[in-house]
Amino acid sequence: MPPAPESAAAARRFVRSVLDGVPPDTVDTAELLVGELVTNAVIHARTETEVRAWTVGDQAHVRVSDHRPERGLVPHDRHPYACTGRGLALVEELATHHGVHSGQGRKTVWFEVWPEAPAPPASVWEIVKPSSGRTLSVTLNDVPYALYWAAQQQWEGLLRELLLAASTIDRTGVRPEDLLVAQDTSNMICACMAAAVEQETPDTSTLSLLVAFAADAAPGVAALRRVLDEADAAAQQGALLALPALPQIRAFRHWLLDQIAGQLAGGEPTAWTQVPQAPSTTPTDMAPWDASEVEASDVPTVAADDRNRIIAVNNSAANLLGWHPQDLVGRRLTALIPEHLRTRHVAAFSSLLLTGESRILGRSIPVPALHRDGRTIPVRLSVQTQEAVDGRTVFVAHLTTTTVPPVPPRAPQDDRYATRPSPNPAQLPTTLRKAKAVIPEKTAPEWLSLFADTGRALTSTLDLDERLRRVCHVLTRRLADWCTVGLLDEHGQVEWLHIVHRDPRVRISDVHLDRLSLASRSARGPLPRVLRGAGPLLITDIPSVGQARSPLDARLLELTEQLGGSSAVIAPLRAQRKVFGVLSLVRAQDEHPFVKEDVPLIADLVRGIALGVDNALLHQYTHSNAEHLQRALLPELPRVEHLELTARYIPSSTTAEIGGDWYDAFVLPNGDTVLVIGDVTGHDLQAAVSMSTPRSMLRGIAVDRQEPPGDVLRRLDLASHTLSPQSTATCAYALLRSSSDPGDLHHSSAGHLPPLLTTREGDTRYLDAGRGLLIGMDPDLPRPSAHDRLPPGSTLLFFTDGLIERRGESLDDAMARLRRYTAGQARKPLDVFCDELIIEFGTDNTDDIALLALRPTPPT
């Protein structure tokens, strides 16, 4: 048979005809397996294929031969979600006997299928080795192995579809000769990577590999990169039965192939952690997805697969939305999305899978979530992709809300949580360079005991600094001669919280505890790599201070020179896919250095420590009263006859979740309804405190005298100028008279953006009459009032500038853009109207947003 895709079907028909009279199950199995083997021959050997089949009683015997004996079987790891590489795995699983042999110009893969008979010992594949040639070693640092497997599986699926698709060049633009080079290069890379990985002991996140590639492979690698980019483009257009790569997989594939080609051409290696990426593909997103991390997190988290089904959810998210976690697993993600947003969600999710391009990954988006009882809860949604060790891509969504703080870690109830004392260490000199203490190899029970002791240290107090000190003391008594722990602050500087020596007499200079900047993204060395997501890294050859590749590493090497060290493990403190610190463990004795087998256990140990530290950090943040203050300052809207009221408050996505924007609505003693929106400069706790003053004064002034809006704002200006002479604010004040119909609006503005009126028919205009100066400018100037009629069913929107202001866009253009958008939402329910505004304009907002919308309804 020719090396064409149609040969697989011809082989299946041939085998079925030969096996006439054999039990049907045997025929079905043989037909399936011969189709897989001929497909492999078409893709990998690309020569004429010979298929022989015969029966012995009820047994089926099949041989598939090609004319490329030098081209060995392509090894594949058996990932459950791989879309290729299953042919030989199916033969192993379903055939009674199988094998491969080569010689006389051909390679033959064979199998036998026996019905209802005990299987003899299955033969092992004989991997035919290609002829050896000159190789060069390529250094691949900080390879996230789960991401590598996902990238490999995805590109093999693209190549398979290209090879089997008819008229490939017409549909994709890929030339057949380039495709054949790309396929051979892909096989070579996969085999070389598999051989290199077998020599390593993987930890929980990354591998650093030294991989031998053919010295002349650089042009083929460049061809593979080009063909895969063209295949991605074809998949985005629907020209292939394969999905394009998601952003992170595509970025990693580019890095890997560029590293191989570049180093084969004489270039220097660049670690994955040192490559700047787009926001949705940051190199720190390196750890494989683990459902246990979702369950252990206090941040409300939901994970879904590529079928839009929930596969993991923690108690925080379930409680927030009124569910039990077990009741959500297996449901569609749309169960948590309000009905009016479901179509949009499905469209966006499908677009991501079908195009490989995303508008939402890695961004913070304000949306309403659907509670089980039917009400909506405003949350800020952040979605990331993460690869699992079984080959899946998982979509992990973090939900944050300004009204429900994360659950703090439990406080200790008694001294049972105190760090367990251990025997007194052997007498040590004051420097570890001459230390003779022995740290023996640990058995499994000893490791379990160490895990338990660090857990007790982490829960022994609510004070973060004390937690870390106790953990370090446990580690230096049980695992290392000395250790350090440092955390990143909000400016990217590393603060060394503790440097702990197992000998309490050793004094550590304060200079080692100074803060150090991570500096540029290109900073090299173990510590910068770890702080960008690599590791844990095992260091068995500690360089001198003069060989340091960054100020961070120089500081640690200076400490090592003082305290001594023969080996070290440097591990990232990571939670919620973010590295927030680093832990270094150092042994000084040459007799008992850290070894490769220690790294996976240390990785698990440090992961538990990181989760405990992250919980403590969350507790510190939520312990402040910022969210409580914001919650107290946002009022409950009154119920007013013939009037719908809806409000939204969205804090800045880049700063503290509290700010100076506010809205208010209340009913005066005479029955009039007051509507207020305002903005005090800033979006932090100080701004919220400053905002509370004019808000409270305005309420008192309005209730004391029922005056026109301009007069109320003038008195507020006078009070503010007297009590807070340095502060300024914008404010819009409106009054709906109870004595007239619900559309009778009186209003005035103190430097605030005018409210936007949108009629039911989609006509829009700003109510820009009644404008005056900001509060705090000149209290003696008169302030005008204005009067407008609100048509029945129209929508009046008060908003702060955070909704529309964007860098590089004029205010006039922004206001026009808002008018166009509200015109299309005019007939939506009022809460949907506000939600759509927030989704459209509130993504990645750098300023706070407050909305107050009203809609007069005619009397029934």
pLDDT for 691-719, tens place per residue?
777 888 999 999 998 899 999 999 999 99
Whether the per-residue pLDDT at 782 is higher than 70: the answer is yes
On whether residue 234 sits in a domain, the answer given is: yes
Same structural domain, 545 and 570? yes
Whether the per-residue pLDDT at 623 is higher than 60: the answer is no
pLDDT tier at 219, thresholds 50, 70, 90: very high
On whether residue 482 sits in a domain, the answer given is: yes
Predicted confidence at residue 266, as pLDDT, reads 94
Predicted confidence at residue 467, as pLDDT, reads 84
Predicted confidence at residue 79, as pLDDT, reads 65
Whether the per-residue pLDDT at 129 is higher than 60: the answer is no
Same structural domain, 187 and 52? no
**Segment among 176-185, 428-437, 778-787 with least mean pLDDT:** 428-437
**Segment among 262-276, 299-313, 649-663, 779-793 with least mean pLDDT:** 649-663
- Structure tokens that stand for 3 in this block: 């090396």
Farthest CA pair distance, the chain: 109
Write the CA distances from 359 to 251, 365, 834, integer angstroms.
16, 10, 21
Same structural domain, 612 and 656? no
pLDDT in tens, 496-542: 778 888 888 887 766 556 666 555 555 677 888 888 888 788 888 88
What CATH number does residue 90 fall under?
3.30.565.10
Other beta carbons within 10 angstroms of residue 860's beta carbon come to 4
Same structural domain, 182 and 318? no
Whether the per-residue pLDDT at 439 is higher than 70: the answer is no
pLDDT in tens, 136-145: 999 999 898 8
Q: What beta strand segments (E) does 305-409 contain?
A: 310-313, 364-370, 376-387, 393-400
Predicted confidence at residue 121, as pLDDT, reads 54
CB of 542 within 8 A of CB of 503? no
Q: Which residue has the higher pLDDT, 644 or 200?
A: 644
202 SS3 class: coil
**Segment among 295-304, 374-383, 508-517, 567-576 with least mean pLDDT:** 508-517
Whole-angstrom Cα distance, residue 222 to residue 799? Answer: 53
Predicted confidence at residue 409, as pLDDT, reads 39
On whether residue 750 sits in a domain, the answer given is: yes
Predicted confidence at residue 618, as pLDDT, reads 72
Predicted confidence at residue 512, as pLDDT, reads 58
Predicted confidence at residue 411, as pLDDT, reads 34
b/e sequence 424-459, b meaning 16+ C-beta within 10 Å: eeeebeeebeebebebeeeeeeebeebeebbbbbbb
Predicted confidence at residue 627, as pLDDT, reads 55
Percent above pLDDT 90 for the chain? 38
Same structural domain, 436 and 575? yes
**Residue 672, φ and ψ in degrees, nearest 5:** -65, 150
Whether the per-residue pLDDT at 551 is higher than 60: the answer is yes
Greatest mean pLDDT among 41-45, 271-275, 433-437 lies in 41-45
| Residue 588, amino acid | A
pLDDT in tens, 276-327: 765 555 666 677 888 887 887 778 999 999 889 999 999 999 999 999 999 9
Residue in the block written with tokens 């990143």: 488
Q: Which residue has the higher pLDDT, 826 or 73?
A: 826
Whether the per-residue pLDDT at 624 is higher than 70: the answer is no
Mean pLDDT of all residues in 27-33: 95
Same structural domain, 319 and 259? no
Whether the per-residue pLDDT at 600 is higher than 90: the answer is no
Residue in the block written with tokens 């690309």: 46
544 SS3 class: coil
pLDDT in tens, 131-175: 467 899 999 998 988 889 889 989 998 998 888 876 666 777 888
Work out how many domains the chain is built from and give that number. 5
Same structural domain, 351 and 305? yes
Q: Are strands 744-750 and 771-772 parallel, antiparallel or unpaired?
A: parallel
Same structural domain, 499 and 462? yes
**Residue 216, φ and ψ in degrees, nearest 5:** -100, 25
On whether residue 335 sits in a domain, the answer given is: yes
Residues 6+ apart with CB under 8 A from 825: 758, 832, 833, 836, 837
Same structural domain, 66 and 20? yes
CB of 582 within 8 A of CB of 486? yes
Predicted confidence at residue 126, as pLDDT, reads 59
Mean pLDDT of all residues in 823-829: 94
pLDDT tier at 857, thresholds 50, 70, 90: confident
Same structural domain, 661 and 743? yes
Average pLDDT over the chain reads 83
378 SS3 class: strand
Predicted confidence at residue 433, as pLDDT, reads 30
pLDDT tier at 442, thresholds 50, 70, 90: low
pLDDT tier at 685, thresholds 50, 70, 90: low
Predicted confidence at residue 785, as pLDDT, reads 95
pLDDT tier at 31, thresholds 50, 70, 90: very high
Whether the per-residue pLDDT at 423 is higher than 50: the answer is no
Write the CA distances from 731 to 487, 609, 681, 712, integer angstroms.
42, 48, 12, 11
What CATH number does residue 304 fall under?
3.30.450.20
Same structural domain, 206 and 101? no
Predicted confidence at residue 686, as pLDDT, reads 65
b/e sequence 58-94, b meaning 16+ C-beta within 10 Å: ebbbbbbbbbbbebbbbebeebeebbbbebbebbeeb
On whether residue 256 sits in a domain, the answer given is: yes
On whether residue 409 sits in a domain, the answer given is: no
Whole-angstrom Cα distance, residue 660 to residue 830? Answer: 25
Write the CA distances from 508 to 233, 249, 397, 571, 805, integer angstroms.
57, 44, 43, 22, 51
**Residue 792, φ and ψ in degrees, nearest 5:** -60, 140
Residues of the domain holding 490 = 431-617
Predicted confidence at residue 514, as pLDDT, reads 61
CA 417 vs. chain centroid, Å, equals: 33
pLDDT tier at 404, thresholds 50, 70, 90: very low
Mean pLDDT of all residues in 70-91: 74
On whether residue 451 sits in a domain, the answer given is: yes
Predicted confidence at residue 422, as pLDDT, reads 34
Whether the per-residue pLDDT at 240 is higher than 50: the answer is yes
CB of 204 within 8 A of CB of 287? yes
On whether residue 213 sits in a domain, the answer given is: yes
Length of the chain in residues, anyone? 860
Mean pLDDT of all residues in 77-102: 80
Whether the per-residue pLDDT at 650 is higher than 80: the answer is yes
Provide Rg for the chain, Cα atoms.
Answer: 33
Same structural domain, 266 and 303? no
Q: What beta strand segments (E) does 277-375 contain?
A: 301-304, 310-313, 364-370
